[in-house]
Structure 1
Amino acid sequence: MKRLCLLGLIALSVAFPVLAESRLDDKPAFIEQLLRQMTLQEKIGQLRLISIGADMPRERLAEELAAGNVGGTFNSVTRQDNRPLQDAALRSRLKIPIFFAYDVIHGHRTIFPIGLGLASSWDMQAVATAGRVAAIEASADGLDMTFAPMVDIARDPRWGRTSEGFGEDPYLVSEIARTMVGAYQGKSLRNPDSLMASVKHFALYGAVEGGRDYNVVDMSPLRMHQDYLPPYHAAIEAGAGGVMVALNTINGVPASANRWLLRDLLRKDWGFSGVTISDHGAITELLRHGVAADGREAAKLAIDAGLDMSMADSLYGQHLAELVQAGDVPMQVVDQAVREVLGAKYDLGLFHDPYRRIGQVSEDPPEVNAESRLHRQAARDVARQSLVLLENRNSVLPLDKADRIALVGPLADSHIDMLGSWSAAGVAKQTVTLRQAMQAALGDHGRLVYARGANVTDDEKLVEYLNFLNWDNPEVVQDPRPADQMIAEAVAAARQADVVVAAVGESRGMSHESSSRTSLQLPASQQALLRALKQTGKPLVLVLMNGRPLNLAWAQANADAMLETWFSGTEGGHAIAEVLFGDYNPSGKLPISFPRSVGQIPVYYNHPRLGRPFVEGKPGNYTSQYFDEPNGPLYPFGYGLSYTQFSLSPPRLSTDVLSHGQSLEVSVTLKNTGKRDGATVVQLYIRDLAASVVRPVKELKGFRKVWLKAGEEQQVRFSVGEDELTFVDAQLRQVAEPGVFEVQAGLDSQHVQTQRFELR
């Protein structure tokens, strides 16, 4: 029998005297025996997930835990806070341990770039590093589960939660989903440094109408299966132990009451055997959706649909017992939900040792925010790979450290905004700002002049909104000086300088849950600053900090260089400075298209083919176009520049005829034709020339990040078989139909070279 901590052994011997010796390592038998000992009230308790402090005071929560009325908690992030709650759970009649969960999205104490930034690396090792470090740090704080990864496909950047995810493409997001699940969960969920992944938001949350959070989703089954469901499926295939259910409706039925979604698709078709968890308050929201007349009906709809745990629960606790006793909910339905919750706890090793991640008091860190607990080098390495160079006219970058540099902008010295949204237990003062990093890079002899130049926004209502939950410690702090005075100071600094670096974009709260926008423009205060800086005639470098694609039409036309840095985390300042000064050659590529204006939305590279497509350079009349501005994105999916240059040969195929069950090899030669060492991403796309349903103009089916010395070349190979050619047909079957396919290879999705083959 495996070693148990003392309290775990006591718990097992008292509650499960037989199982403790003979059944603990037999999961099904252990859970079934435990179920038989549980009262209905204790079963319902296991289905309740309670937010510490927000849903009930800590004192009452301890009482509820001791009574066996709570199955898990979230929003507590230290061992000292979690240990007394586990103690309380082990005072309950059956001594069933609880689990502790939190939104660990892109780091825990060490904060890595936001999801869009991680995806911009196109490097699965970098993504895995972020996930593994997050798991190590979070589990060291006593956490068992994370509500991540967030794998919603996002094609409308007005949606604030675009920042959390990995972009617009099913293939890229699926690869990241698999990687993150593996990184969080490690080699075994029982290991003390593992976190159970609870993939979210299931399903289709990124497709809310108008990009407005919590809005409806109405989508054809074909598009659903082809474009939006694959990343969730990839996470399930990778072994994610949990699924968080979305807040939106799907074709008229809320996800949290959607039996087809949770029972037919997730469990029957995909074989998921883990625990499903509602999003915050989602069961109560069934009343506001208008599908439940009262709390009793809402609880019945959710449990019948297959929703195991109720986050921020009140309705399961109030109504499930009555529903079972009245015969309106069969006991076996409740039992199955409880079975999944107990199974998650078993997989986490909590029945073997309830303190597996909490540890002993003697092992607690003396200071939870100690510098020694951070993983700065890993964060810096990953952040550097996440930066995307959008423009670099006349090679204004990298900067010369001998130059006099004017650093301006409201985000140049903002610690809190480096963190980005959902920054877990990250501490703002531990971040490195761009101002700090540039000054450190220049040293004592550096010539850096700083001026704020503008507030993030001068819209008082917007500032009030952004600070709504943080009035005691506001995130957006306004400089009280008049706007023209701040701009004048920045212009004066610019006139003294050889080059101007402007850090502009969004505050982190502008790209967050419930922060949808009708405009993608920079706020007016920052636009005025940039126009004034442009008038000085000095080279203008924009450092963008934002959680979504922005409207950069003016910037593209007027800035000499642009570096997209997203919100780059704890070490973001150093990473950005290294790129600006040329100590690191940028290699990031966009995981999402940048529209020219909000009127183009949605704009994404793999859109369906049309009968009247617009063709660049040809007359646009009676084609699918906007006649009042250029068509296509401002910056396409997969785009990103380097300080060196690369050439890519046309693709070469090992055969031009492919039989079912076989594969062919695609090879290209990548050469670094510039004078600096660097990396780029070779991207492979497939175009199905004729099929039984309308297919996308192209689909990403492979990518390789390659580092080459100046003058070096390398052959890059991809394998293409039926898996890369399958799609969902009109009957929702996965098929690979015979016909001609086009292989496209490029360094972004627009500029490609092609070759064809036939599938017979």
Structure 2
Amino acid sequence: MERPKVTRKLRIALALLASSAWAPPTSAQTAAPDKLGDPSATPEQRARDVIARMTLDEKAHQLGHTAPAIPRLGVPQYNWWNEGLHGVARAGIATVFPQAIGMAASWDAPLLHQVGDTIATEFRAKYLERRHPDGGSDFYRGLTVWSPNINIFRDPRWGRGQETYGEDPYLAGRLGIAFITGLQGNDSKFLKTVATSKHFAVHSGPESNRHREDVHPTPHDLEDTYLPAFRATVTEGRVESIMCVYNAVNGVPGCASSFLMEERLRRNWGFKGYVVSDCGAAANIYREDALHYTKTAVEGVALGFKAGMDLICGDYRNNMTTEPENIVAAVKSGQLPEAVVDRSLQRLFEARIRLGLFDPQLPFPDITARDYDTAKHRALSRKMAEASMVLLKNQGDLLPIKSEPKTIAVIGPNADSFDALVGNYYGTPSKPVTVLDGIRARYPRAKILHVPGTGLIGRAEIPVPDDVLCVDAGCTTRGLKVEFFNGTNLEGAVTETKTVPNARFEWLGDRETSARWTGTLVAPETGDYGFRFASENGYRVWVGDKLVVDEWGVGDAPSILSGNIPLEKGRKYPLRVEGFQRGQRSNQQLLWSPESAGGEQAIAAAKQADLVVFVGGLSARIEGEEMKVKARGFAGGDRTSLDLPAPQQQLLERVNATGKPLVLVLMNGSALGVNWADAHVPAIVEAWYPGGEGGHAVAGLLAGDFSPAGRLPVTFYKSAGQLPSFSDYRMAGRTYRYFTGEPLYPFGHGLSYTRFRYRAPRLSNARVGADGKVTVSVEISNTGARDGDEVAQLYVSHPGTAGAPVRALERFERVRLKRGETRRVDFELDARALSVVDAEGVRRLVPGRADLWIGGGQPVRRPGLPAAAGVAAQIAVTAGAVLPK
């Protein structure tokens, strides 16, 4: 007789039943909890007490991201998985700030700290909104935030680079600290939320190989580039959590590396918090199709916990879960000491206690369940979006627009794109403002002509019109039949059936639902048609007997995968569309791209206009995390080319040929090699993925409502040909620190509507000893015609010193200066700022000359690019020293 299948959900349910209040008592269940709910006891005492009362099975279940309740001990369920990269993500309506790479372009640590604090407020509000009666939380409704991503954006081809603070270790560290301290708050007793520095360590693509990749950074690169930002967020930011990586480092899986988690993290840096695995990374330790470092799951789990991992995030999307039974088996077999399990539980429960989750009264009582997506928070999102805008080029001072144009043509695939606002790992803005929306609001009297003209990587996609759809084969009734199901797999009984005009639906509520639309499509013209179902989750489309596109996905936002099929005019084709929703967001709609959806209408609009704004670039549907994209220049979420996608480039050249004043607005999460545009388009704006208020920020920049002051946190190379192989983790030839070629736009570059002058550099000491301490002062004047911000950047170089980068950013400050105002800015340097890393990975202060540059960008020149204002100075380092790891 076949044994019934015992699912993971059933095992958890049985475990909960066994631990319920009326379950037969065991030796570990005889006493009521004494200290867990006692605010007078220390977090250490409270955690130790509840752990001592748990059975081994209960302990094992608490070590996964879906920790079940233990009612008899007063422990509610808790889901550790919460995303907050640039706002509360995947929990419905929330304030959406610019994507992380955009916020990095602000070079404004105090403003980012304010953003982090606001996001923490919204996490508290979301927790209260759906808090269980016993204090428990669901998916994406907890207070442990898996952000920020402080990996180094070493190569612009990496699809997830948009999540980072750029390519520089110092910039990433300072911005990471600002965000973390905002998230965690400054209360002496309670954490507002728990922040997580991820992904530790040495992780930046390729996405296609991340579960199998074994990277071997040189000792120099490890200490010089890959670890400093993590070190800063631990030693200075006091981050409470670290996430270990999918990949292996020097032959050892990151989530099984005692070198990373014990030696570096805890011993060298003094980390006191907990380490969570990336989702599925613990399974990578033993999976045959991953790193396969151990032969069995039990052995792999034991190795991970002994090495310093404390919490396993499973990956339900890819069936990469790690069962609690493996932990129990590891303990019972002697491979995992129970004391190691208790050590991890101690760290985890102390974090929950410090969040106030077991106190009779929750901390931060002024925060209510409605304190998200407020007008104040949206205003902050707009402020950050404005701060992130980078003016790359402004030939002939085309910008700001001098007088209101009578007719503005807004062209390009991102002009009215929600995707281009939010990037990846995002929430749902209640009132998203696209660039088209922003221009309409800023110029209410102008005639606005909007024509996409092209898609991101193919023809322009438009909604399939209602009048080509029929419920029946004979087309006697317009519309489609739709069937709804509970769950995401179109299984079980149909919950609702009705006739609707089209395959479009606005998903409402926090649920898992799927739907199937069926009917007949009548082709209006003969030709080749592309089909896609715009959705936040998976989809499939059949036309006739052909499965045109299958992007059923894994539960997060899919790519913009589409499929083509030839259709004949007047012919009737059976149509079937399937889609599902998981979570609280999604407006779904059937799109197609007929051959007639070309650029002719866009050219006609441009010819009528006084000003043309071309809004192009990328979106998180074509650059991102493990995704399907079928287009030249893209692979698995990463890119193989830095060029503007060919359909956009072709349309841009045609629009430019009309001779009308043209502004190119780029919306993307990584560098684009827009060489042709740099040579031919008079004004170029880098807007990133600017968040829910992004359209207002772009329109305000064009109109001159503020002077742009964003600076590039990454190098814009001319092409991928200037870079080493994507899979090569050596830093030679990468980032501004080790790149010796000519960039298109250098790291730190950004233009303004006013002018700045640097003068009178002063050093507190021209010669410094082993402590390296020196104060560098400079006067900055706004010599232009309007108020504006300047980003003062201090770079250090060590000519002739082995292991030293070309130059390295060591200090920066964003300064607000009124027209005609002069201000002295002071930068304090120390031994670490003046140090270099040798070939063995030892950080040293080396006697010799250190050259300083303080300016509005790097001291580099490129034909056609204005040189950054700045001044130089020199320091003599008179003594050597070895610095701590």
State the TM-score, normalized to the length of structure 2. Answer: 0.72
Instruction: Give unmatched runs, 5+ long, in structure 1.
Output: 1-9, 51-69, 72-88, 615-623, 626-630
* Selected match of 1:203 from 197, 201, 215: 201
Give me the whole-angstrom Cα distance separating, in 2, the residues matched to 1:592 and 1:510: 19
Check if 1:138 corresponds to 2:140.
Answer: no
The residue identity in structure 2 corresponding to 1:726 is S
Which of 1 and 2 has greater Rg?
2
**Structure 2: distance between partners of 1:452 and 1:240:** 44
**1:529 matched to 2:536:** no
Contact 1:15 1:93 in 2 (8 A): no
Which residue does 2:309 correspond to in 1? 307
Equivalent position of 1:338 in the other structure: 345
Letter of the 1:453 partner, please give it. G
Secondary structure in 1 aligned to 2:282?
Answer: coil
Alignment of 1:282-361 (within 5 A): 282-286=281-285, 287=287, 288-312=290-314, 314-353=321-360
Shift of the 183–327 alpha-carbon distance from structure 1 to 2, 3 Å rule, reads same
Aligned to 2:272: 273
Is structure 2 residue 774 aligned with structure 1 residue 664? yes
Determine whether 1:759 maps to 2:877: yes
Name which of 622, 627, 635 aligns with 2:745. 635
Partner residue, 1:63: none
Deviates more, 1:244-253 or 1:585-594: 244-253
How many residues align structurally?
A: 683
Alpha-carbon distance between aligned partners in 2 of 1:129 and 1:43, rounded to the nearest angstrom: 37
1:62-107: CA deviation from partner (whole Å, max 9, x where unpaired): xxxxxxxx26xxxxxxxxxxxxxxxxx2524553563554111001
More helix, by proportion: 1
Partner of 2:447: 447
Map residues 34-433 of structure 1 onto 2, 5 A cutoff. 34-50=50-66, 70=67, 89=69, 91-93=71-73, 95=75, 98=78, 100-108=80-88, 109-142=94-127, 143-188=142-187, 191=190, 194-206=192-204, 208=205, 213-214=210-211, 215-237=213-235, 238-286=237-285, 287=287, 288-312=290-314, 314-353=321-360, 364-365=369-370, 372=374, 375-399=377-401, 400-423=403-426, 425-427=427-429, 430-433=431-434
Answering whether residue 496 of structure 2 is matched by residue 480 of structure 1, we say: no
Query: Residue in 2 aligned with 1:505?
Result: 617
Give the letter aligned to residue 603 of structure 2.
Answer: V
| Distance (whole Å) between structure 2 residues aligned to residue 375 and residue 15 of structure 1 | 47
After the TM superposition, which residues 676-715 of structure 1 pair with which residues of structure 2 at under 5 Å, given as runs?
Answer: 676-691=786-801, 693-715=802-824
Q: Is the 8 A contact 1:593 1:603 kept in 2?
A: no
Contact kept, 8 Å, 1:156 with 1:210, in 2: the verdict is no
CA distance in 2 between partners of 1:542 and 1:21 (Å): 58
**For the residues of structure 1 that align with 2:366 and 2:787, how far apart are their CA atoms?**
46
Maintained 8 Å contact 1:603/1:633: no
Separation (CA, whole Å) in 2 of partners of 1:734 and 1:372? 46
- After superposition, the Cα gap between the structure-2 partners of 1:402 and 1:539, relative to the gap in structure 1 and judged at 3 Å, is closer
Change (3 A) 1:452 1:719: same
Q: Deviation per CA, 1:223-278: give whole Å up to 9, x if none.
A: 11111101111111211111111111111211012121112211122111211111
Classify the secondary structure of the residue corresponding to 1:510.
coil
Contact 1:200-1:243 at 8 Å conserved across structures:
yes
Structure 1 residues 716-759: Cα deviation after superposition (integer angstroms, max 9, x where no partner): 22223323212333454432122111111221123454222211
Contact 1:651-1:743 at 8 Å conserved across structures: no
1:524: Cα distance to partner? Answer: 1.9
Question: In structure 2, how many angstroms separate the alpha carbons of the residues matched to 1:456 and 1:521?
Answer: 12
Deviation at 1:189, TM superposition (A): 8.0
What is the deviation of 1:145?
1.0
1:20–1:585 CA distance, 2 compared to 1 (3 A): closer
The 1:522/1:14 distance shift into structure 2, 3 A limit, reads farther
Q: Kindly tell me: are residues 14 and 634 of structure 1, through their superposed partners in 2, closer, same or farther at Cα, counting changes over 3 Å?
A: farther
The structure-2 alpha-carbon separation of the partners of 1:292 and 1:673, relative to structure 1 and needing over 3 Å to count, comes to same
The one-letter amino acid of 2:200's match is F
The offset of 1:432, in angstroms, is 0.5
Q: Deviations over 1:391-413 (max 9, x none)?
A: 11111111231442111111111
Q: Work out whether residues 199 and 244 of structure 2, in 8 Å CA contact, stay in contact via their aligned partners in 1.
A: yes
Amino acid across the alignment from 2:621: G
Cα distance in 2 between the residues matched to 1:544 and 1:466: 27
C-alpha contact 2:199 2:245 (8 A) present in aligned 1: yes
Whichever residue aligns with residue 327 of structure 1, its letter is G
Q: Aligned to 1:31, what secondary structure does the other structure show?
A: helix
Local SS of the residue matching 2:279:
coil
Q: Deviation string for 1:344-379 (max 9, x for gaps)?
A: 11221222249668999xx755xx9x8647721111
1:507 positional shift: 2.2
State the match for 2:674 in structure 1: 552
CA contact 2:37–2:360 (8 Å) conserved in 1: no
Map of 2:436 onto structure 1 = 435
* Aligned-partner Cα distance in 1 for 2:589–2:376: 26
Distance 1:422 1:738, change over 3 A: same
With over 3 angstroms needed to count, the CA separation of the structure-2 counterparts of 1:266 and 1:20, relative to structure 1, is closer
**TM-superposed deviation, 1:450:** 1.4
> Which residue among 28, 32, 44 is the counterpart of 1:28?
44
How far off is 1:316 after superposition? 4.5
CA contact (8 A) 1:159 1:212 kept: no
Does the 8 A contact of 1:209 with 1:216 survive in 2? Answer: no
Letter in 2 for 1:710: R
* Structure 1 residue matching 2:304: 3-state secondary structure: helix
Q: Which residue of 1 aligns with 2:692?
A: 570
Q: Which has the larger share of strand?
A: 2
Q: Distance in 1 between matches of 2:162 and 2:531?
A: 23
Secondary structure in 1 matching 2:281: coil
* Deviation of the 1:537 alpha carbon: 1.0
Please identify, of 517-526 and 581-590, the stretch whose mean Cα deviation from structure 2 is larger: 517-526
Alignment partner of 1:742 is 2:851: yes
The residue type paired with residue 319 of structure 1 is N
Amino acid of the structure 2 residue aligned with 1:504: G
Question: What is the deviation of 1:636?
Answer: 0.4
Contact kept, 8 Å, 1:24 with 1:30, in 2: the verdict is no
Query: Do the aligned partners of 2:532 and 2:590 also contact (CA within 8 Å) in 1?
Result: no
Contact 1:467 1:476 in 2 (8 A): no
Measure, in 2, the Cα distance between the counterparts of 1:21 and 1:677: 54
SS at match of 1:711: coil
Aligned to 1:588: 710
Q: Tell me whether 1:674 sits opposite 2:784 in the alignment.
A: yes
**Cα offset for 1:184?**
0.1
Q: 1:654 to 1:32 in 2, by over 3 A?
A: closer
1:487-534 per-residue CA deviation (whole Å, 9 max, x = no partner) reads: 111111111112210000112222321211111222222112101101
* Structure 1 residues 296 and 662: CA distance shift in structure 2, 3 A: closer
Deviations 1:407-446, CA, capped at 9 Å, x for gaps: 11111111232111110x324x621011111111112x22
Residue 531 of structure 2 contacts residue 592 of structure 2 at CA under 8 Å; is this kept in 1?
no
Structure 2 CA distance for partners of 1:307 and 1:16, relative to 1, 3 Å: same
Would you say the 8 A contact 2:159–2:638 is kept in 1?
Answer: yes
> Is the CA contact 2:531–2:591 (under 8 Å) kept in the aligned structure 1?
no
1:508 is paired with a residue whose SS is: coil
Could you say what secondary structure the match of 2:122 adopts?
helix
What's the CA shift for 1:301?
Answer: 2.2
AA in 1 matched with 2:47: I
Partner AA of 1:284 in structure 2: A
Structure 1 467/523 Cα, relative in aligned 2: closer, same or farther at 3 Å? Answer: farther
8 Å contact from structure 1 (residues 310, 316) kept in 2: no
